[in-house]
Amino acid sequence: MMMLISAVLAFIATHMMVQYIYMPGSWLHLLDHPNERSLHVHAVPRTGGIAILTGIAVAAMFYSMSGQISAPAIWVTIAVLLLAYISFLDDRQGLSVPARLVGQIASASLVVSGGMTLTGVGLPGIQWIWPQALGIAISVIYLIWMVNLYNFMDGMDGFAGGMAVLGFGSFALLGYQSGDMAFMAINLIIASSAAAFLLANFPPAKLFMGDAGSATLGLLAGSMSIWAERHHLFPLWVSILVFSPFIVDSSVTLLRRLLKRERIWQAHKTHYYQRLVQLGWGHRRTVMSEYVLMAACGLSALVVRNLEVPMQWILILGWISTYAALSISVYRLEQKVIKSRS
C-alpha cells in the first residue's frame, strides 16, 4: 500500500509543479528557444525536469517512512541533487562543457562511493570479473555516458519522457520479479513522476524537461542498472536492453560522427529519431513508433529471465539484427526522399 500511495503522490506532486512552471509569471518559467539542434519552432518552457524531481522527492520521502530505503539509495539521492543543481544552472544561464563534465564526474563518483560499482560484466553463460579499481573507473564512465546519452536523446516531444515511463516501469516490474520491493518502489516512483510530466510533453509539447530532467534521469537509469547488477536482480545486459532505444541511437550516432571527424560536442540533428522527423514523419508518428520499440524492449527484458541460455542468446542476436534493419531502413528512406526531391 505504501508503494502505491507513493506512486500516486509522485504523479500528483509532479502534475502540480508542471502547472506552476507553465505559468508565465513563474520563476521557473524559462523558455527554450529553437536552435540548430532543435526540432521545435516555438519557444517552450524547459524546466519540466524540476517537476519530475519534485514528484520523485515527495514520494521518496513518504516511502522512506517504510524503512526500506537502503544506504546506496541515499548516495544516489545526493548525487541526483548535485547533478540537478548543476543542470538547472545550465538551463538557466548556460555552463561550459568542462563545468558540466566536472559536475557529472562528481555525481557519478558519489554514486560509486555508495558501493554502486560494477564488479564485472556478463552475457548469458559468460561472466568477466574485474579488479576493483577497474570496476570503479568503468562504473564512473558508464554513469557519465548514461547522463549524456539521455541528454542527447531529449530532442523530440514526448521522447525522453516516454522512455522514462516505459524504461523505469520495466525496471519496477523486473524488481517485482526479483522480489526486491525497495528497487521496485523507487523505479515505480520515477516512472509515475515521468508519466505526469509526459501529459504536458506529449506532442505538441507544452513543456520540456531540460538538462535538469534529462541528465538526472540518465544518472538514475545508470544507477538503477548498477543496483540491479550488484544485487543480482538481473544482469546489466538486461538493463541495456531496456534502454537500448536510447543507448543504440546515441552510441551509433556518436561513432558515426567520430568516423566523419565531426565535432561531437556541437549541436546537431543526425540522431535517427531526428532524421525521421525531418523526413516527414513528424513528432507524433515518430514518438509513437519509438514507444512500440521501447515497449518491445521492456517486454523482452521481462520474459528473458525465464529463458534458457541458448534462447537468451537468440533474443540478443535478434535485437542486434532488428536495430541493424531499422538503421538500414532509415538510410533507405533518406535516399528515397532525396531522389524524389531531386
Residue found by looking up cell 545550465 in the block: 90
C-alpha to C-alpha distance for 215 and 225, rounded to whole angstroms: 16
Residue pLDDT, tens place only, 96-107? 888 999 999 999
35 pLDDT band, cuts 50/70/90, is low
What average pLDDT does this structure show over 45-68? 86
Residue pLDDT, tens place only, 249-281? 999 988 888 888 777 667 677 888 888 888 888
CA 229, 235, 239, 240 torsion: positive or negative?
A: positive
Residue pLDDT, tens place only, 215-233? 999 999 999 999 999 999 9
234 or 272: whose pLDDT is higher? 234
Tell me: pLDDT of 36 over 60.
no
157 or 68: whose pLDDT is higher? 157
Q: Provide the pLDDT for residue 30.
A: 63
Residue pLDDT, tens place only, 112-151? 998 889 988 888 988 888 888 999 999 999 999 999 999 8
Tell me: pLDDT of 61 over 90.
no
**Inter-residue long-range contacts of 70-74, CB under 8 Å, 24+ positions, other chains counted:** 70/182, 71/114, 71/115, 72/114, 72/115, 72/116, 72/227, 73/182, 73/186, 74/114
Tell me: pLDDT of 54 over 80.
yes
User: Above pLDDT 90, what percent of the chain?
Assistant: 55
Q: Provide the pLDDT for residue 226.
A: 95
187 pLDDT band, cuts 50/70/90, is very high
C-alpha to C-alpha distance for 99 and 116, rounded to whole angstroms: 24
What average pLDDT does this structure show over 195-220? 91
Tell me: pLDDT of 42 over 70.
no
Residue found by looking up cell 524492449 in the block: 297
37 pLDDT band, cuts 50/70/90, is low
Q: Provide the pLDDT for residue 74.
A: 83
What average pLDDT does this structure show over 188-200? 96
What average pLDDT does this structure show over 193-200? 95
Q: Provide the pLDDT for residue 225.
A: 96
64 pLDDT band, cuts 50/70/90, is confident
Q: Provide the pLDDT for residue 300.
A: 96
